[in-house]
Amino acid sequence: MVAGNLLGLDAPEHTRLRRMLTSEFTVRRMRRLQPRITEIVEERLDAMAAAGPPADLVADFALPIPSLICELLGVPYTDRAEFQERTGRQLDLSLPEEEQAELIRESRACMAGLVARAQAQPGEDMLGMLVREHGDELTTDELVGIAELLLAAGHETTSNMLGLGTLALLRHPGQLALVRDDPAAVAPAVEELLRYLSIVTAGVTRTALCDVEIDGVPIPAGSTVAVVLATANRDPRSVDDGERLDVTRTAAGHVAFGHGLHHCLGAPLARMEMQIAFPALLRRVPGSRARSAL
């Protein structure tokens, strides 16, 4: 789920890069990926069945599925293990600063190689499109930054949704049955899980340039302001009994993907991955139950 400010740029530059990328994430284009997503889901379920219980849902299912973003950027799907391992370590806040810095350097070097390949011979993937259509507008550093952002944001957040969403459903058997047995319930259930879990908890921070009051709360000039998406998604003014998971509710209007200029570019892809993966998993493994290692 690609959310937030692209590369930390100011609004005009952010808008320019979004314009270049939006065509790659249209609902129509994402629908063309449905057969490939279904194929990956079934491959993972077959592998889990062959290995027998217990299965590591995160390693065996939740992480590999959104690695499709690798293919969209021209990274071979077979290289996903190396990428997953490095991305997971980058998000480990317990690592020493030196190790974090080295991981960032490794990731950037990897993306720089990917960009160099695309510049030398643009393929039909997303980076190839950017080089062919916008190569005169984008610097190499910008292309590297875009690749890093799309790979990390489009992978880790969706894998977290698949893992934690499954856990949430296992804790609510009645809700799980609806997602498993009723195709019409799947899309609303995904929206409700997005709202309920709010994987990306905070939006872009801002600095107040003058004294202002929001909803009766005074904010002095110079204060840092952060929008907490998880709180907004449970605000009683927008959702009744927001602490309760209810896959039958209409969760339209949630801000799990951000809002406005910072709305997630990859929302159509993330939705499709979840709409395919959740019911397939619950049908193939009907006796699933959570264990402490999840």
**How do residues 118-140 score in pLDDT, each as one tens digit?**
888 888 888 888 888 888 888 88
CATH number at residue 275: 1.10.630.10
**Contact of 190 with 250, CB cutoff 8 Å:** no
13 located within any domain: yes
Domain count, the chain: 1
Please check whether residue 185 is in contact with residue 247, taking contact to mean a CB–CB distance below 8 angstroms: yes
d(CA 123, CA 106): 24
Give the whole-angstrom CA distance, residue 239 versus residue 224: 27
DSSP calls for 242-269 = TTS--TTS--TT--TT--GGGS-TTHHH
pLDDT tens-digit map of 3-52: 444 444 445 566 767 777 777 677 777 788 889 889 999 999 999 999 88
Burial class (CB in 10 A: 0-12, 13-18, 19+), 69: buried
What is the structure's pLDDT at 3?
41
Cross-strand bridge partners of residue 212: 219
Domain annotation covers residue 166? yes
User: Can you give the pTM of this predicted structure?
Assistant: 0.81
Q: Which domain holds residue 101?
A: 9-198+267-284
Domain contains 151 = yes
Q: What pLDDT, on a 0 to 100 scale, did the predictor assign at position 250?
A: 81
| Residue 30 domain flag | yes
Residue 218 lies in a domain: no
Residue 143 half-sphere exposure toward CB, CA atoms < 13 A: 28
Query: For residues 173 and 25, what is the distance between their CA atoms, to the nearest angstrom?
Result: 34
Tell whether omega for the bond before 12 is within 30 degrees of 0, i.e. cis. no
Residue 248: inside a domain? no
Which residue(s) pair with 207 in the sheet? Answer: 224
pLDDT at position 7 is 44
Residue-wise burial string across 137-157, b where 16 or more C-beta atoms lie within 10 A, e elsewhere: ebeeebbbbbbbbbbbbbbbb
Q: Is 67 helix (H, G, I), strand (E, B) or coil?
A: helix
Confirm whether 133 is domain-assigned: yes
The DSSP secondary structure of 13-53, one letter per residue, reads: HHHHHHHHHHGGG-HHHHHTTHHHHHHHHHHHHHHHHHH-S
Residues of the chain with pLDDT under 50: 1-10, 292-294
- 293 lies in a domain? no
